[in-house]
Amino acid sequence: MIVDFAIIFLKAALVLGMVLNLAGILGWIERKGSALIQDRIGANRASIFGFAGLGLVNTLIADPLKFLTKEDFIPPSGDKFLHTLAPCMALFPALVTFAVIPFGDVLNLGGRTINLQVANINIGILYVFAMGSLGVYGIVIGAWASNNKFSMLGGVRGSAQMISYEIAMGLSVIGVLMVYGTLELQEIARGQGALMRDLLPTWLTFLQPAIGWLPAWGIFLQPLAFLLFFTAAVAETKRVPFDLPEGESELVAGYHVEYSGGKFLMFFAGEFAEIVTAAGLVTTLFFGGWQVPYLLRDGFHFPWGATLLLPHLAVVLLQVGAFALKVVFFCWLQILLRWSVPRFRYDQVMRLGWKMLLPLALINVAVTAVWIVAAQ
């Protein structure tokens, strides 16, 4: 009993720690990366006793210290209680969503089978959307409680944008759910361990030499869904090219214009935690989650017949490592995207969400349904 609780506690602490630390490191990668893209040096001023390290360690320590020691300003005409509550409401959903994302298969340790996922609920993907839909409150309430017209405009833009893209996001995932036949993220990740040749219907066997060796990852089965989901996920994180709620050239800083110090840090960390969560979701739904191609529970089984048996612990480490690598890759991709494209105009954001992503997602669902019936 106590050991079970300890295991759950450890898993939760591990995942939460990884998300928060990755969020912090991403803050540094964003600065250094943007400097690299724009041919500057970037953040290099923080140093402890003359030791600047790679900039990373010092930035990780200096940044939060600076934020936490600044004055916490609450607008006198604003709403004190809600102004304080809003950053928590923005950070909380971003941190808890990762609980249903599996970071490995099962770990057999001392006679126990540990599922490498914090919360194994059979409606995992719906939980993700439930938490995502709660993320709007941080923005709306923060904007309203600041009693500032710029904040207010940012909050209104943010809530409209998030509601719009939630719909496209939800519909784009339905194709994936239909293909793997489950709402559970661990099952979706397991389903991606199969190979294409296991899934090809009999009237398509002639394709086997060409694509039979591919792993049955979401990206190969649902390429359109991946594009739609990734676009919608970037829009949900409210970053360039979808950073209309902040839009510093029009709204100063949008919904968090009246926030300073630790509370601003919470909005800031929430944004990076959302990036990590979006990367985790993209990895789990479309890139095999913790799957390494051809790696089964006892080792590698290559499609040309060769096998390489590995001990259990090595397999688990490979899986967790592969998951971490994929997540870091998609975090990096989002940061690259943020510094490469210009901001959309507001009507373009709305048109993209409602007139392009939504119909395309519906078409994807219909085509997937026809495919599933035809493949039977």
Residues forming the site for other proteins (CB under 8 A): 79, 82, 121-123, 126-127, 129-130, 132-134, 136-137, 140-141, 144, 152, 155-156, 159-160, 163, 166, 183
Residues ≥6 apart with Cβ < 8 Å to 76:
none
The C-alpha atoms of residue 299 and residue 314 are separated, in whole angstroms, by 9
Backbone torsions φ then ψ of 90, nearest 5 degrees: -80, -35
Comparison of 184 and 243: residue with beta carbon closer to other proteins:
184
Taking the complex as a whole, the smallest distance from the CB of residue 275 to other proteins amounts, in Å, to 21
CB 158 within 8 A of CB 140: yes
- Min dist CB 11 to other proteins, Å, is 19
CB of 167 or CB of 195, closer to other proteins = 167
Q: Output 122 or 205, the one with its CB closest to other proteins.
A: 122
Question: Please, which residue, 79 or 250, has the CB nearer to other proteins?
Answer: 79
Q: How far apart are CA 277 and CA 274, in angstroms?
A: 5
Peptide bond into 64 cis (omega under 30): no
CB 286 within 8 A of CB 218: yes
Cβ closest to other proteins, residue 166 vs residue 246: 166
Residue 272 to residue 18: CA distance in whole angstroms:
12
Shortest Å distance, C-beta 254 to other proteins? 15
Between 44 and 84, CB nearer to other proteins: 84
Nearer to other proteins, 129 or 300 (CB): 129
- Of the pair 130, 308, the CB lying nearest other proteins is at 130
CB of 309 to other proteins, least distance (A): 37
Closest contact distance (angstroms) between CB of 101 and other proteins is 16
**Least Cβ distance, residue 256 to other proteins (angstroms):** 16
* CB-nearer residue toward other proteins: 235 or 322: 235
**Smallest gap, in angstroms, from Cβ of residue 131 to other proteins?**
8
Q: In the bound complex, what is the minimum distance in angstroms from residue 357's beta carbon to other proteins? A: 17
| SS3 labels along the chain | CHHHHHHHHHHHHHHHHHHHHHHHHHHHHHHHHHHHHCCCCCCCCCCECCECCCCHHHHHHHHHHHHHHCCCCCCCCCCHHHHHHHHHHHHHHHHHHHHHCCCCCEEEECCEEEECCCCCCCCHHHHHHHHHHHHHHHHHHHHHHCCCHHHHHHHHHHHHHHHHHHHHHHHHHHHHHHHHCCCCHHHHHHHCCCEHHHHCCHHHHHHHHHHCCCECCHHHHCHHHHHHHHHHHHHHCCCCCCCCCCCHHHHCCHHHCCCCHHHHHHHHHHHHHHHHHHHHHHHHHHCCCCCCCCEECCEEECCCCCEEECCHHHHHHHHHHHHHHHHHHHHHHHHHHHCCCCCCCHHHHHHHHHHHHHHHHHHHHHHHHHHHHHHC
Which tokens sit at 129? 């959307």
**Residue 12 or 134 having the CB closest to other proteins:** 134
Q: How far is the CB of 221 from other proteins (least distance, A)?
A: 21
Least separation in angstroms between CB 363 and other proteins: 19
